[in-house]
Amino acid sequence: MLHLEHSIDINAPAGRVWAIFTDTAAYPEWNPFMTKLDGELTLGSRLAVTIVPPGGKPNSFRPTVTAVEPGRRLAWLGRLPIPGLVDGAHSFELEPLTPETTRFTQSERFTGLLVPLLGGMLRPAEAGFAAMNSALAARAESGPA
């Protein structure tokens, strides 16, 4: 198993952060890591996601949404065509710290037979989490509340 995680405290209310995070059509305008996210953010739906890890090449995949708690949490499961080789359980969590401050945490837990062999190839995603989280904070903290 491999667990990657990055958190950032954002000077904006959770509702604003959630609204920006779930406006996936705008990702190309601000998101340096997750450059595409198409599909309904509803339980059981399949998404089309493209990520670009810092210094890496674009990677597209089709995860299934496993949890949606509006204003609080979104999670999905991505896997290779054969389950159990490499499965990635990705989670985005918003925690209101004050009425005007939100902690945003992005994490992924990789499991499967190939994870020990591919761990080095998966680790750059953590820098991508940090880049996305910082860009989300910048967008949420600018402009009208």
- Give all domains of the chain, ordered by start, each with its CATH number: 2-141 (3.30.530.20)
Q: What is the pTM of this model?
A: 0.93
Taking the C-alpha atoms of residue 6 and residue 43, their distance in angstroms, rounded to an integer, is: 24
Q: By the 8 A CB rule, do 48 and 60 touch?
A: yes
In the chain, what are the helix, strand and coil shares in percent, each to the nearest 5? 30, 40, 30
Residue with tokens 């037979």: 113
pLDDT confidence of residue 139: 97
* pLDDT per residue as tens, the chain (145 positions): 999 999 999 999 999 999 999 999 999 999 999 999 999 999 999 999 999 998 889 999 999 999 999 999 999 999 988 888 999 999 999 999 999 999 999 999 999 999 988 878 888 899 999 999 999 999 999 965 4
